[in-house]
Amino acid sequence: MAIDTALRTSGGAVVAGASTPARLVPARSLDAVAADQDKDGATAAASTPAPLRGKSSAAVGGAQQESVARAQQALDYLERVAGQLENLKGEISAKLSGASGGQTRVQPRAQQRSQQLDSSVRQLASTLAARQSSAGGGVDANLNFDGQPAQQRFRVRGLDIDSLQQSAPATVAFSVGGIGGPQLAATIGTDQSSEETARAIDRAVAPLGVRASLDNGSLVFSTPEANWPAVRDSIAVSGRGRVATDEVAPALAPQQWPIGAGSSGGGGGNADALRQSLREVVQALERVRRSQDAASSALSSASVQVSVEATPPPEVNMAADDFAGAAASTNYDSLLALSSALVGVSRERVLALLGLR
């Protein structure tokens, strides 16, 4: 807080930092000045409402409510996906059984199964495509849930561990949308391991809302899905300018499965493709079950925390009971206590207090 200091003399006054001369004031005694200050302080205390507490609690409560909503939407979405995966698992298993029979007389039934499987695959693909708008922002493309906003994983073309180590020693700086530059740089040494190089890159890009890690020896970046459009369109690397990025494809891609009515095998489908698709469905189901458990745990924890924050401490209830008891009495002492307590309580303050609930 800037403080303007007034230098008073018998001939006038000069205010430090002011652009115009200060008004002349008559000299006054120290006792008079002190009396005025006490009076001003008392007036300010009476007219200025005390600051309302609880804003930090309200912010925490808002964050907890957001966690509850994210976990609840994730559970609803994951339950729908799990049901569709279970259905596909049964249909693929039935089609595999029909394909292994190889009997001509069951051909119409096999064709019907293929058409039903086509429909189920399209339904799952549609549900996965709507994930970002339906899952509450907490389920990523691989159907994982960890309680945090879903991440978009991507690679930067031409930026991999091998090329970085081959150009060592070197310094690589990053920026996103003009934020970053030389201060966000990673130093690549000649004796660094792949893990050390990835950690150096991760430290450099972390302030940009981007993380870097190794995935099977490959350098992979990630950022919250809400940030992905900005990162995708403006990430730049020193010496290269803006660079191109590629999204890491999700592990589950049902639209690419060659298991429908148009696949090879006389309507029964290719047995190897069916088995591979079945393995992918089973693996996806395992991930979904783990994510459901994580979302249920997060929902329970967040709900308990919200309940605890919404429950007033015992002292508040006791004070409310005392106030209600005093208000029910009509003697002079009670009325005096009530009127004293309500001095300075405005309608705006009451509404603000009610808004904290």
- Detail the DSSP E strand segments found in 51-141: none
Q: What is the mean pLDDT of residues 175-189?
A: 89
User: What does the angle CA 45 – CA 51 – CA 54 come to, to the nearest 5 degrees?
Assistant: 155
What does the pLDDT average to over 249-262? 78
Q: Which residue has the higher pLDDT, 71 or 34?
A: 71
Number of helices (H), then strands (E), in the chain: 11, 10
pLDDT digits (tens, 9 = 90+) for 266-309: 444 588 888 999 999 999 999 999 999 999 999 888 777 766 66
- Determine contact, residues 188/171, Cβ cutoff 8 Å: yes
SS3 179: strand
Mean pLDDT, the chain, whole residue set: 78
Report whether pLDDT(34) > 70: no
User: Helix, strand, coil % (nearest 5) of the chain?
Assistant: 55, 15, 30
pLDDT attached to residue 18: 40
Share of the chain above pLDDT 70, in %: 64
What's the mean pLDDT in 326-350?
Answer: 69
CA 94 to chain CA centroid, Å, is 41
**pLDDT of 189-237, one tens digit each?**
999 999 999 999 999 999 999 999 999 999 999 999 999 999 999 999 9
Instruction: Report whether 206 contacts 173 (CB < 8 A).
Output: no
357 closest CA partner among 313, 322, 310, 314 = 310
Mean pLDDT, residues 48-63 taken together = 51
Q: What contacts 78, CB < 8 A, 6 or more positions away?
A: 135, 139, 143, 145, 288, 291, 292, 295
pLDDT band for 107, please (50, 70, 90 cuts). low
Please state, in angstroms and as integers, the Cα–Cα distance from residue 48 to each residue in 2, 42, 44, 109, 345, following that order: 22, 10, 6, 82, 11
Cβ-proximal residues to 272 (8 Å cutoff; 6+ apart), any chain = none
- Predicted pLDDT at 301: 85
